[in-house]
Chain A
Amino acid sequence: MTNRSRREFVRNALCATASSALFPAMLGKLSLAQAAITPGTSVLQGTGYRALVCLYLYGGNDAFNMMVPRDAAHYATYAATRSALALPAAGLLPITPTVAPADGAQYGLHPRMGALRDVFESGKAAIVANVGPLLYPITRAQFEAGSVPTPAQLYSHSDQQLFWQTPRADTSERTGWGGKLADLFFASNANPILSMNISLDGENVYQAGVQVSPYFMNAGGAETIWPIEGEWAARRRAAFDALYARNYAHPFERAVVQKMGRTRAVSAQLEDALAAVPADTAPFNRFDQAWAALSPAREVPWFARQLQMVARLLAVRGTLEMSRQIFFVGMGGFDTHATQLVDHGELMEDLALALKTFHQVTTDLAIADRVTTFTASEFGRSLTRNEDGTDHGWGSHHLVVGGSVNGRRIYGRPPSLLADNNPDDTGYGQVIPTTSVEQYAATIAKWYGLSDTDRATVFPNLSRFASADLGFMNPAPA
């Protein structure tokens, strides 16, 4: 365990026992940890609402086929390297950034991402090029010489998922930057029982804080205790309620009663609030309309249903008395080792449509500039192919969407796509990131309200990189 995670462990223990007789023992741990504990200094009270939506693309998205160069010279390089997996130039959907990207290329989006192109061209989506977990900036020569440390277990799903979410490539700790933001900001929510972090896709490291643990619900609603739910359960519920209405002698029993009450209150509160914003009414039915327009045979994918639920929760943020929230949504299927051209095309289409639809709904709700959605994915794919698919890569392009995004731009430096003697390549078509996940995350966190003083607490390695703010976020509204 690193000093850093140890410090958090100690801080957690300290918070948990600050008023107890164990306090002296904890002070002992503190001095041993040789660490100054930075108290949360940036807890905001009563400022305007802000939400983050982490859209996690499980499996490793092949973003080198999501954003493709379309000028003749760059396209020729792309086509030569990708060979059978190269998308035809004619089908690419041109995008027109207001500032030329760092490599001077002209780009197009995947032919099935028309929905995303609309958002990009409207200025509400940005592309951040070639992001990945890094310990330090690193060149190909340094990589080959082993002279600059790299994240452990590159190309491994589980490890790189961890590093994308923590987002630190030098730790096995299981807290994420969304969780750490929640530790700093949860007190700004008036609601005392609902967690600031809600996952629509179950367990994830991103939302786990030291003090804040995420609340899991699903695209259909809050999870409830079904043996005491509904008319048919009235008898049993009465007995259950009676058990939990008694006075107990043991402090642990009293704590169990209190926790059960809280758990039931949270789910009841969510269900009540969500009843006011049914999924089949406007604007939330935009999701059904969008996929119906695509083809009668296409159903709204599950991750888009998750986004629909996020939209409904955003709509009732006032009822729920939340001023800061972080949501987690998961989309699977990106581990395209085979039949990539077919499978990836559909993923791109669903992704683009979901992002556009969600952004439209937040616009309808007049909250678009207070909600930022960003993609994460453990790695990109190799530039080289294996028959009809790609292998695990490293760096990859990512999308940021929302009313506060300084969009219609490509940030960071897109890598060379050369097959041979590629200065951005590890040697096997796995592209060395030119922007670190910490820079990407810190830019979003700054918009969210993370102060410069707290920045190092959440992103301790950030100072190793040139810029702590990539510039793709405009200031948040007051």
Chain B
Amino acid sequence: MGKGRLAFAALALALAMPAGAADLLFKASFDESAEGPYNEYDAARFLTQATFGPTLGEIQRLQQIGYNAWLNEQVAMAPTLHTPYLDFRDGLGEDVYQQVRQEAWFMRAVTAPDQLRQRVAFALSEVLVVSDQNSAVDDAFALANYYDLLLQRGLGNYRQLLREVTLHAVMGNYLSMRGNQKENVTENIRPDENYAREIMQLFSIGLVMLDANGQPVLSGGQPVPTYTQATIRGFARVFTGWNWSGCTANEYEWCYPDDTHQVWWRQPMVPFAAFHETGSKQLLNYTGVSLAGGLLPANTGANAATADLDAALDNIFNHPNVGPFVAKRLIERLVSSNPSPAYVGRVAAKFANNGSGVRGDLAAVVRQVLMDPEARKRASAPANAGKLREPLLRITQLWRGMDARSGDNRYREGWPDYYGGQAALRAPTVFNFFLPSYSLPGEIAAAGLVSPEFQIATDTFITRMSNEIAGKVYWFWRGNPELSAEDVTVDLARDMSLANTPSKLLDRYDLLFMAGAMSAPMRQILLDDLNQIDLSGGDDARRERIQDALWLMLNSPEYVVEK
């Protein structure tokens, strides 16, 4: 789109908008869009990383307002939460189990306006993992509430996010911090080390010391551990004395929310002084640590549990690993499995200081992840940049790109793990669906690359994903008389006129699904297929061209590896 057309489009849009929005739009269009996107392909590529998939409308709009204005809008936008939807269905007297939570997830992913927030929350849900596969937390409302926390704090400060995650009843039950109590030698009780271990290994600093670019620090050729068993014991002692909001000291060891106290699942855990370890605790010790030697002194004060918790979270949060650790996790989920150290370093620097002296500002971190030259310019990225698309993201991209909806606006997609090995908050363990360090044996491992998403690309799931996308394209299309109002359908009618000219059809899908990166040989293979479908077949033939174009593209090597 040329500059003149862009300005005209912005003007036309502005005229149709409220005054405040128009100001914003003009400011964005004429003052801030110098950073791009410079064409629709750049816009689509950005939206693939920052949302659950580009739509024609959002591509156009991003081109009009530019990256910065788009990001500002998204960061300012209120979260579209999941729990209210479960409450709504519950209020209708329906049974609400995990499938309704998955429905809420798909509905938000496909339709919510706060796409950046939704996408980042999903990324965080694969780092700060809880799962309905653990029966201690298999309450759908509780898990939705945990997801809402990720939505509400995902673009806030990591310190606050970490605190609220730590005290969430779901996490408390998932990693057995709730009900944890101080050492009692006579009864042979020792503080549970589960949460102490995972908050360090998986949520904040990892196992080995990292430099500012996320590379392991070596000493004598060996990586340097971030903590010892003594540190784990120290944190285990910190995380004692917390329980359900409605618990009492007398009931500490057995309180549990019955049907009339389900709200406990949605309230942060609260401290119980009698069960909190008041002695000193060995915490992390690192250069620049504020506690001398990383040792938290004994505290017998009335608020010791809370004070210890905050001191311990500060101790973790200020560890130099947190920035590069979080940077890597977010880059992996949004942009690329194998970022250059410099890219990690630039994002980590934003974590350390958002430009205003604030540490842990996730909005600034996410902005850097997305606006970094290595994310924005293919030419700036290493040759191996990119990632295997996650199964859930393949589904949402199809549905957003093809305006999928059902007759009653519901998204009954309760068991995507059946075909993709993945569903929101349904990882098999706290180690997520796949490990960040997973490296597919063979060429990828030999090259020293990691390929996390390949870990769930098993024979079964490769087959089922191919078939699932086929079902969603060849069968679940709007207007298929065999379907019911409950079925989620893609809108093929929109593209029927393009189907008369296969190259135009491919142009559109190349934009929506591959950000214009389809190679000439791949295009030719698809054209050869589509041209064999004789248009004398009328609408059926046009539809088949669309369906073939979609299915072949969405299952092609060039597509499934997002670059």
Q: Which A residues fall within an 8 A CB radius of B?
A: 1, 5, 9, 12-13, 15-22, 24-29, 31-32, 34, 153, 156, 158-159, 172-174, 195, 202, 213-216, 223-227, 235-236, 238-240, 242-244, 246, 248-260, 262-263, 266-267
Contacts and interface: CB of A to CB of B under 8 A. Distances in A.
Closest 8 CB pairs of A and B: A28-B223, A21-B448, A239-B529, A174-B428, A253-B557, A252-B561, A216-B460, A28-B208
A153 B558 contact: no
A236 B430 CA distance: 41
Contact of B460 (A25, A215, A242, A254): A215
A32 B197 CA distance: 11
A384 to B, nearest CB: 23
A32 B225 contact: yes
B447 A17 contact: no
Contact of B429 (A173, A215, A246, A249): A173
Contacts of B194: 1
B444 A251 contact: yes
Contact of B529 (A25, A26, A238, A256): A238
B522 to A, nearest CB: 6
Contacts of A255: 440, 442-444, 451, 454
B260 interface: no
Given A226-B470, A242-B528, A243-B522, 8 more contacts: A12-B435, A24-B218, A153-B135, A214-B460, A223-B460, A227-B551, A235-B529, A256-B457
A255 B445 CA distance: 11
B470 A227 contact: yes
Contacts of B442: 255, 258
B248 interface: no
Nearest to B194: A1
A22 B452 CA distance: 14
B229 interface: yes
A1 B198 contact: yes
Given A19-B445, A239-B548, A253-B561, A266 B459 contact: yes
Dominant secondary structure at the B interface: mixed
A313 to B, nearest CB: 15
Interface in B221-245: 221-225, 229
Given A34-B229, A226-B470, A254 B443 contact: yes
B280 interface: no
Contacts of A21: 448
Nearest to A6: B197
A174 B387 CA distance: 26
A227 B474 contact: yes
Contacts of A215: 458-460
A29 B207 contact: yes
A27 B222 contact: yes
A153 B136 contact: yes
Interface string B194-214: 100110000000011000000
A158 B135 contact: yes
Nearest to B555: A240
B384 A250 contact: yes
B314 to A, nearest CB: 23
A16 B438 contact: yes
A202 B419 CA distance: 11
Nearest to B451: A252
Contacts of B561: 250, 252-253, 256
Interface string B525-563: 110110011000000000000001001100111101101
A172 B463 contact: no
Nearest to B209: A28
**Most chain-B Cβ atoms within 10 A of its Cβ — which of A12, A153, A224, A243?**
A243
B225 A31 contact: yes
**Most chain-A Cβ atoms within 10 A of its Cβ — which of B438, B439, B474?**
B439
Nearest to A161: B135
B386 A250 contact: yes
A263 B459 contact: yes
A20 B448 CA distance: 4
Given A159-B135, A248-B557, A25 B463 contact: no
B448 A22 contact: yes
Contact of B216 (A28, A31, A235): A28
Contacts of A216: 460
B109 to A, nearest CB: 23
Interface string B149-182: 0000000000000000000000000000000000
A240 B440 CA distance: 24
A236 B218 contact: no
A215 B444 CA distance: 23
A224 B134 CA distance: 31
A5 B194 CA distance: 12
Given A28-B216, A248-B557, A227 B466 contact: yes
A227 to B, nearest CB: 5
A25 B224 CA distance: 9
A16 B450 CA distance: 9
Contact of A252 (B444, B467, B528, B548): B444
B446 interface: yes
Contacts of B183: none
B462 A253 contact: no
B301 interface: no
B416 to A, nearest CB: 13
Contact of B223 (A24, A235, A238, A242): A24
B184 interface: no
A22 B437 contact: yes
A13 B337 CA distance: 16
Nearest to B450: A22
Nearest to B202: A1
A17 B529 contact: no
Nearest to A223: B463
Contacts of A156: 135
B552 A243 contact: yes
A259 B551 contact: no
Interface in B465-502: 466-467, 470, 474
A16 B441 contact: yes
A311 to B, nearest CB: 22
Given A17-B439, A153-B135, A239-B552, A253 B526 contact: no
Nearest to A17: B439
A259 B384 contact: no
A431 to B, nearest CB: 22
A202 B454 CA distance: 20
Nearest to A258: B442
B72 interface: no
A212 to B, nearest CB: 10
A172 B75 CA distance: 37
Contacts of A24: 216, 218, 221-223
A257 B229 contact: no
B215 to A, nearest CB: 9
Contacts of B522: 243, 246
**Most chain-A Cβ atoms within 10 A of its Cβ — which of B445, B449, B526, B557?**
B557
B18 interface: no
Contacts of B454: 252, 255, 259
A72 to B, nearest CB: 43
Contact of A257 (B208, B437, B557): B557
5 contacts: A24-B221, A29-B207, A215-B460, A248-B558, A267-B459
B460 A13 contact: no
Nearest to B218: A24
B286 interface: no
A37 B521 CA distance: 48
Contacts of A256: 388, 457, 557, 560-561
Nearest to B562: A252
B229 A13 contact: no
Contacts of A26: 437
B303 interface: no
A1 B202 CA distance: 12
A18 B445 CA distance: 8
A263 B466 CA distance: 11
A266 B443 CA distance: 21
B47 to A, nearest CB: 21
Contacts of B223: 24-25, 27-28
